[in-house]
Amino acid sequence: MFGKHLLGIYEKAFDPRDSWEQRLMKAKQLGFDYMEISIDEKDERIARLYWSRNEIEQLRRTCAEVGIPILSMCLSAHRRFPFGSSEEHIRQKAHDIMEKAIFFASAMGIRTIQLAGYDVYYEVSSPESVERFREGMRWAAKLAEQNQVMLAMEIMDTPFMNSILKHLVYEEDIRSPWYRVYPDLGNLSAWPENNPQAEIEKGIHSVVAVHLKDTIPPSGDKPGVFKCVPFGEGCVDFEACFKQLENLDYSGPYMIEMWYGEEACDVEKVRESKIWLQEKFDKAMEALRENA
């Protein structure tokens, strides 16, 4: 296993037709410690935030019965409803989603909400959209403080928030212990201007969790590939990243981010990826011991 670390799996790695009990049982069968729930921009996933207390409690009981908690939330619904939007009704929805997400997390026992680092996504970014995003983050951090729920910014697939250093500018401005960073090693590695090991070192004090995903960098006129890249076929130097994180005494969780594909059994695909990443982690630990 991943040493002292909890190891999680993304909900979307499994068949979306599964019940929650089936998803959680698969995660347990595969040896994971927890699951990350997705609240993306689809109506049916956003609707989860509006569940009653009884519905949330039913899911919490299912987690307890299976023995796999949901400890983190990937909140990407703000791609559709961003804080930086020029439309007031969209900004209002962004606030409502955040408020409901923090309530949901508090009721479920979710420790960390991973935020989507977009000022806007389907609109053109501007100085005004950036300032509206900043104001939204200030407000969200205060609400998170009141409820003791960690907000952590994902390093993203667009230039707006594609490095830990860019996040740290906002963190310094917002100055909240409940507003931190949740780097995605795939997104962090895909941008040619980033040095992932240097980024990790500069932001290690802020890292609360790490997404494990492979990516293909942008090249010339070709956009990067930020989803569904099989482990080992992308640009991420996982061994080097693990070495850096462990050398800096990172003790937080790792979370494997995968997406279900109809062409393969989800359990076997996840198992193969988990074994592959475990080998990279073990090699990194061996290298650290040899250099000690």
Instruction: Please give the chain's pLDDT, 292 residues, in tens.
Output: 788 999 999 999 999 999 999 999 999 999 999 999 999 999 999 999 999 999 999 999 999 999 999 999 999 999 999 999 999 999 999 999 999 999 999 999 999 999 999 999 999 999 999 999 999 999 999 999 999 999 999 999 999 999 999 999 999 999 999 999 999 999 999 999 999 999 999 999 999 999 999 999 988 888 889 999 999 999 999 999 999 999 999 999 999 999 998 666 799 999 999 999 999 999 999 999 998 7
The upper half-sphere exposure of residue 237, i.e. CA atoms within 13 Å in the direction of its Cβ, equals: 10
Q: In the chain, where are the structural domains located?
A: 7-291
The upper half-sphere exposure of residue 87, i.e. CA atoms within 13 Å in the direction of its Cβ, equals: 12
The upper half-sphere exposure of residue 140, i.e. CA atoms within 13 Å in the direction of its Cβ, equals: 33
Q: Kindly give, in sequence order, each residue whose CB lies less than 8 Å from that of residue 218, ignoring residues fewer than 6 positions away.
A: 190, 191, 192, 224
Q: What angle do CA 236, 237, 243 make, to 5 degrees?
A: 135
Pairing of strands 225-229, 214-216: antiparallel
Q: Judging by beta carbons within 10 Å of its beta carbon (0-12, 13-18, 19+), is residue 254 exposed, middle or buried?
A: buried
The upper half-sphere exposure of residue 84, i.e. CA atoms within 13 Å in the direction of its Cβ, equals: 20
CA distance 73 to 11: 10
* pTM, entire model: 0.95
Architecture of the domain made up of 7-291: Alpha-Beta Barrel (3.20)
Sign of CA dihedral 140, 142, 143, 149: positive
Q: How far is CA 163 from CA 6, 81, 159, in A?
A: 24, 22, 8
* H or E stretch at 10: strand 7-10
